[in-house]
Structure 1
Amino acid sequence: MNEKFINNADTGYQLAEQKAADYFAELYAQVRTQSYIPALTGDFRLWQKNHIALNSWLSRFSRKKAPDTRDYHRYIQWLNLTGKLDDYLNRSVSYIYMRDLGRALDAPETEARIQEVIASLRKRLVNPETGPQGDIMMFMSMDGVYRWAQKEGIEPAIIWVMDKLQRVTTHIPEELSAEQAQRKLIKIIVGVVLHAIEEMDDTVSQTERSRRLDEAVHLGYSYGLTYPFVDDILDSTLLNAQEKEQYSRLIRTALLTGTVPKLGDWSGNHMELIRYIHAELREAFEYIQSRQQPGTQQVFFEQSYVFFQSQDIDRTRDLNHAHYTNEELYIPVILKSSCSRLVARSIIGAPEDEGFDHRTFCYGIYNQLADDFADMFDDLQVGSVTPYTYYLKYHNQRTDLVNPFELYWAVIAHLIHNVYGSDYRTREVILDRAINGLKRARIRLGSAKYDEIMSIFTTGMPRFNELIQQMIRKAEDVDFLDKLLRDQMLNSLKQDREQQEHFQQTLRQVRQQINETLLLDKKGDLLPMNKRLIDAANYSLEGSGKRLRPILAWVMGVHHYGLDAQVLMPLLRSLEYMHTASLIFDDLPSQDNAPTRRGRATLHEVHNSATAELSGLFLIQKSIREQSSMEGFDARAVLKLMQYSAEKAEELCTGQAMDLDARGQTLTLEQLNTICFYKTGVAFEASLVMPALLAQAADKEIQVLRTFAYHAGIAFQIKDDLLDLGGDVLVIGKPIGQDAQNNNSTFVSILGEGGARKEMWNHYCCAVEALRTLPKDVPFLKHLLDYIVHRDR
């Protein structure tokens, strides 16, 4: 980092601060004279023509009530059937172009681009021919994002960022909201990618487009990390005052010197978390730095420093301090709200655009004041200083305080008339957004609380307030797609987190149940050799197996088909006996010659090969006996299950024979897929299909389960191959590098590590897509797939 910026950092901040002070003075003058009121009164007269029906009392009876927006698909269809969808998409897309991309809506090229995006969105939302893959909500799922990545040729970037997001999520401390942290991070990534897309036209080659999008994904994640791991951490109660000062000093030093300082001796708690965050932020910082051009690096560091410094000033204020000036309250807000998007643009190296910079600088406080209004009671609860919380606490004591609600409307008037030149599209979108935000606040707070708050914030503008409240009560068609998607994302992330917790709980509980009933007993009059075989079999059963197959059967049988858990227990034991027998045979010197399995010595190492072979056969017979002992089911269903089980056992033998025969040969991907399915996918399939057979499910549903198992099994095997390449032997419980040592063809040897990861995620997507065709959702199977691709053992 050059010395010039280090020496002039404070000067740069002071220049930005002066610019914000000038802007605030301009807004304050409008508040003091209330010149914004006649301007906005005229705007509302024009605006309401599109939003308040003349015969509103009659139209209430003729209109069908809109469905709850939480029912996303019904709501979109309702918009389409009522002819409201085009306007809904127009204001939604236009708002994103204004807020996130800093565009002026009256520019012909912007209008053309907006119409292109609307047409694409409309097709995705309402065209039944596009199917599930065409649904915009697909982009909130890993498979949907990966399918987009395949189209754009950036699969490695998306695999990388999904792995990163997974690890970030597991490191979010309880003091923070994991869902909000994920949402903010994803939002920033999407925002940076949007910037990159909008900087490209049709003349950019697909190769160059893929390169820029790949870089945008990495940059978006790297920049987005600052929200959960800088902003949220410092805003939370996780760190004490001394720790926050130490943490802030690290960030400031990196921005001033261009080098992330070593963590050194962290004097506070949470050492493991801070070490992880420090490593992630250092990697992110260095990636952003490496992608800056000589001409843009200075701008990036200057804006980043202003952004961090304004946030730091803003967050360290004390709500009990009664003497902050208006400038002290508002100037950091102006700076941090505008710099957020200025930094996002600078990190992709977009060319300078004075119009963008000016619009973004003026626009930021509009969004920030709207967000602060929505969050004011949460902010009050934790003692955060915002213009709203400070005004609520001190407005009766200090008549000099600027009313933030009045300033909010002054900002709106300034944007419409002074920044965007009274453009009618801009007026429409900004007023839509303002009324929508207040409508949502009224619903969220309840009428009584809302009216109480309004009585405080609108005392100086009673007539204008009457107009606003009339718009809030009567105006229609002011909702936005990004709000809908935000709510859907938060609900989805929260539901996903709850389902993941339930998935892990189910794994633990059912695994324990299975373990408690799994071991073979030695009761009765047994021969000594019989006891020795049981001991040998139990040795293999006692290993720390995942028990995925019987757990799968339990979930499908009990949760999906409603079968009795106790009655199903013989099937669960049967599956694990068969699986353990197959592992015993796989490990033999004549086959894989594995010295360890499930974290300890293999059976033939402890005893001998003959004992291992006989113990495997012994377990197979036990498996058959368990299946034949199932009671409470239709006898024909049990017989069909046993026939199916025998068929799958034959296929397992075929798969292992094919694998042995292929040793030392270079296989094609098709050959490897076939071997993999017979070795791994067959067992997954049996775990799903056997409960379905007992429940006498339809053939169509069984076929879907087969398809799912095929892809899940191959994804599982690819992950095994990747772990064999670079996993932790202490975590995996068996030696790594065995495939290379045995000269086995694997997905990694055929496709390379990167190609194997792409193939794994492709099968992941195929499996998820199969699940969507089931007549009833099975969340456990979706989270099983997530576990398969993210596991470390």
Structure 2
Amino acid sequence: MNKEFTINPDACFSKQEQKASQYFQELYGQVAEKTFIPILTKDFAEWKHNHIQPPTIFSLFSRRKGKEVSSGYQHYIHWLNQTGKLDDYLDRSVSYLYMRDLGKSLEAPETLAGIRSSVESLKKHLTGKNKEKIGIFSMASLYRFAEKEGIEPTMIWLMDKLRSVSANIPAGMDAANAQRKLIKIIAGVIMHVLDDLEDGAESAIRSQKLSEAIKLGFSYGLTYPFIDDLFDAKILSSEEERQYSHLIRTALTSGNVPELGEWRGDNAELIFYIHAELREAFEYIKANQREEMITPFLEQAYVFFQSQEVDRHKNLSNRKYTNEDLFIPVILKSSSSRLIVRSVISAQLEEGFESRSFFYGIYNQLADDFADMFDDWQDGSVTPYTYYMKHHGTRSDLINPYELYWTVISHLIHNVYNSDRKTCEVILDRAINGLKRFKKKWGTEKYNQTMELFASAMPEFNRIIQKMVKRADDVDFFDKLLRDHMVGILQSDRAEHEQFFEQVKTVRSQINSAMTIESSENSLFAEPLTDGANYSLNGDGKRLRPIMTWFMGVHGYGLDGKQILPLLRSLEYMHTASLIFDDLPSQDNANIRRGRQTLHQVTNIAVAELTGLFLTQRAVEEQTSLSSFDPKTVLRLIEYSSKRTADMCKGQAMDLDSKGKILTLEELNRKSFYKTGMAFEVCLIMPAILAKADEAEMDIWKKFSYHAGIAFQIKDDLLDVEGDTSQLGKQAGIDADNNQTTFVSILGIDGAKMAMWEHYCLAVETLEQAPRNPAFLKYLLDYFVNRDR
């Protein structure tokens, strides 16, 4: 895009500030007169009939049951469906999203039709017989969604981006919430795009629009972790904050992200990464906007950023902030954030959208600030609630934000949404649900203290509210359930991944220390083989095979780690032998292996060949020393190992025979299984044999290994094209040099990635059939497809 776009920041901010001031003055008059109390008292008198029922033995039992299962996502949905509550639950949830995210009026017939359609679709997904077991936010479920919509390359792009962002979230920031916000923004943009899409649009157009929505959503959403959260986390120094703020302001006012230049501060590496990502995102948004939408986008983004900046620089100890200082930035940032999405996707604003979004924003922001009140207090952040807590005793002029919150609710229901009963129902549901969640999070004592502070000036109205909080049922929302579920998954997944890989490091260290082969006495002529074996063993190997066996043996079957140590050595000796043979001039003729020269280059071909044989025999010897297991079981293990070793030799012969030939995808899959999948199978089946697992269980591990092995090999092929020799620990581009047919040469890079994720999904779905916890296999599988070496 060659045309330059600039905005007048002072003019656009001043215009919106005046509009916000007018809105605030209108609210101020209502809160001063407390006109909301009689209006909402009447609303609650009607509302409570749907939510407070005379208690019966059945209802008490049903309510307890619901609470017991509400912590489980799928169990809770099942309970709602069994009790006949699911339709209403989904209807109010979807209706709320239509109001909040799409800026819709619930009075419009087309909106009600859209809500009904969305509810039916969502219910079918949640209760259908074929609903996925693999987890709503897992990589496998995301990819399966992408397959249905024909957007696999975009989803692969997104998963790579999310992984990159997560890896670069610095300590001091909440990575799980950063990911959640990103996913939430992407989902919101998708909602807008689908809403803007004509009914009956062709599948190709739908796929194109969805792909654009995902990339636009990510591009816009990236500002939350890398601007808002980064500033709030106080990671940057004062000078770095000044530099970074100036860079953002320059980009929004000029329409172009400036070069970063020299960065003065300790966070240079982080800022270089963020600058590159945000620049790419900014350019993508501009490139996909209609020209006439770019200026509104820049203006709205500037208003949002500037209002955030105003709040960010406030000091809780400053006693001089006016009510306007406290509330007008809230109105500005909450309304502009919703308008930005429409300009990002270049959608036309339907009648009333801008007005509804402007008036609605402060309601949602005050609800969020109330929920986060004590966290903000601890951080020293200035919000209307924290400032009132700090200074209400000496500042009688301060507006009580809790009273303003109810004023906004009254204003929305009766002045913005024309007293629509469904709107009233949904908004009051949400308000009571927010108080219930607050009470559950902080406890009854702290909740009562909070109400004493904020609601003491309206005792009768507060009595009504607290009755609703205590007794009202059916006020929960699906998006809150998803939020809790998502945060829980992301937090536990991140913690478990970190714990898993820390354990991997420990196990790898133990394996490394046990690999060295001692020289035999009076064995002068064998020294070259021992030295060659240790040279090859001591390289920078991943030790995947013995690590897999250790986890399966110790965590899967409860075997003693020390007792299976000979098995771990056996597997690594056999694998290292295969690499020595694989690197020979007669085979792949490789120069680098495990970050160092291959064995035949530092010795000679004959020594390398003999060393490979030597390690193969040592592997069998190690298996015979599994003295803690009964002889028949060990004999069965050796028999299985020998057969699989012969099969892997056939696989390598198949690989050599395929050089210079164009293989079919089926032939390549078979070759990959023999080369890689079978080795993984051995790592899982051998401890299963020692544990005397049944055949049905072992069949599951075999099927998993088949798909995991092919996914691993596809990643190897991709790394051979896209990887860096210094990171790989072996020579990149060797497949092309050897004229090898690979998944990349057959399918192309994008096609190979799609095939890899298909086998990844099949492997994950296979694990769902396993009779024991396969968590470590899931983490290994994630590593297989996300590794850089």
Q: What are the residue-to-residue correspondences of 1:132-531 with 2, within 5 Å?
A: 132=132, 138-526=135-523, 528-531=524-527
Q: Distance in 2 between matches of 1:497 and 1:39?
A: 47
**Match of 1:690, as an amino acid?**
M
Q: TM-score, normalised by structure 2?
A: 0.98
Question: Is it true that 1:102 corresponds to 2:99 in the alignment?
Answer: no
TM-score under structure 1 length normalisation: 0.97
8 Å CA contact retained: 2:4, 2:255: no
1:63–1:313 distance in 2 versus 1, CA, 3 Å: closer
Q: Does 1:39 align with 2:39?
A: yes
C-alpha separation between the residues in 1 aligned to 2:499 and 2:724? 27
Provide the C-alpha distance between the structure 1 equivalents of 2:54 and 2:634, rounded to a whole number of angstroms.
Answer: 69
Secondary structure at 1:384's aligned position in 2?
A: coil
| C-alpha separation in 2, matches of 1:646 and 1:312 | 68
2:331 aligned counterpart, secondary structure? helix
Q: For residue 715 of structure 2, what is the amino acid of its counterpart?
A: K
Residue 732 of structure 2 aligns to a residue in which SS? coil
Give matches, 1:66-85, under 5 Å. 66=66, 67-85=68-86
Query: Aligned partners of 1:52 and 1:90: how far apart in 2?
Result: 19
Q: Could you list the per-position Cα deviations for residues 761-784 of structure 1 after superposition, in whole angstroms to 9, with x for gaps in the alignment?
A: 111111111111111222211111
Q: Residue 513 of structure 2: SS of its match in structure 1?
A: helix
CA contact 1:138–1:145 (8 Å) conserved in 2 = no
Residue identity in the other structure for 1:628: T
Q: CA deviation at 1:55?
A: 3.9
Question: Against the structure 1 CA distance between its residues 7 and 577, is the aligned structure 2 distance closer, same or farther, given a 3 Å change threshold?
Answer: closer
Distance 1:506 1:494, change over 3 A: same
Distance in 1, matches of 2:2 and 2:31, equals 43
Shift of 1:68: 4.1
- 1:550 matched to 2:550: no
Q: CA deviation at 1:478?
A: 0.7
Aligned to 1:23: 23
Whole-Å separation in 1 of the counterparts to 2:232 and 2:314:
11
Distance 1:7 1:138 in 2: 45
| Percent identity over paired residues | 57
> CA separation in 1, counterparts of 2:199 and 2:667?
40
Determine if the alignment matches structure 1 residue 748 to structure 2 residue 749: no
Tell me the SS of whatever aligns to 1:664: coil
Tell me what 1:774 maps to.
770
Q: Deviations over 1:697-756 (max 9, x none)?
A: 121211111111111111111111111102111111111111111111001100011111
Letter in 2 for 1:206: S
Q: Which amino acid aligns with 2:758?
A: N
Query: 1:53 maps to which residue?
Result: 53
Partner of 2:572: 576
Per-residue CA deviation, residues 52-87 of structure 1 (Å, 9 max, x unaligned), is 013468842675532242222222222122111111
Q: Which runs of 5+ in 2 are unaligned?
A: none
Specify the code of the residue in structure 2 equivalent to 1:327. Answer: E
In structure 2, the partner of 1:125 is: 126
The 1:445/1:205 distance shift into structure 2, 3 A limit, reads: same
Could you tell me whether the CA contact under 8 Å between 2:6 and 2:295 is conserved in 1?
no
> Per the alignment, do residues 123 and 503 of structure 1 end up closer, same or farther by CA in structure 2, a change over 3 Å counting?
same
8 Å Cα contact 2:721-2:733 kept in structure 1: yes
Give me the whole-angstrom Cα distance separating, in 2, the residues matched to 1:407 and 1:248. 31
In 2, the alpha carbon distance for the partners of 1:354 and 1:110 equals: 13
For 2:704, the equivalent position in structure 1 comes to: 708
Distance 2:735 2:301 in 1: 48
CA contact (8 A) 1:52 1:475 kept: yes
Partner of 1:533: 529
Q: Look up the equivalent residue of 1:546 and give its one-letter code.
A: K
Output the CA distance in 1 between the equivalents of 2:116 and 2:86: 13
Give me the whole-angstrom Cα distance separating, in 2, the residues matched to 1:93 and 1:293: 30
Q: Distance in 2 between matches of 1:471 and 1:380?
A: 27
Q: Could you tell me how far apart the structure 2 residues matched to 1:349 and 1:474 are?
A: 45
Answer whether contact 2:297 2:343 (CA < 8 A) is retained. yes
- The answer on whether the counterparts of 1:21 and 1:331 sit within 8 Å (CA) in structure 2 is yes
Distance in 2 of aligned mates of 1:295 and 1:744: 51
Distance in 1 separating the partners of 2:633 and 2:339? 65
Instruction: Give the partner amino acid of 1:551.
Output: I
User: Is 1:718 paired with 2:708?
Assistant: no
Who is 2:93 aligned against? Answer: 92
Q: Deviations over 1:169-227 (max 9, x none)?
A: 11111111111111111111111112111211333111111111111111111101100
Alpha-carbon distance in 2 for matches of 1:297, 1:360: 20
Aligned equivalents of 2:653, 2:140: Cα separation in 1: 34
Report the equivalent of 2:600: 604
CA apart distance, 1:7: 5.5
> 1:57 and 1:203 mapped to 2: Cα distance?
49
* C-alpha distance after superposition, 1:207-248 (max 9, x if no partner): 111111111111111101100000011112101222212111
The alignment status of 1:116 with 2:117, answered yes or no, reads: yes
Deviations 1:304-327 (A, max 9, x none): 111111111111111111111111
| C-alpha separation in 2, matches of 1:516 and 1:68 | 48
Residue 785 (structure 2) pairs with residue 786 (structure 1): no
Matches of 2:249 and 2:192 in 1, distance apart?
27
Which residue does the alignment assign to 2:621? 625
Q: CA 1:717/1:61 → structure 2, altered by over 3 Å: closer, same or farther?
A: closer
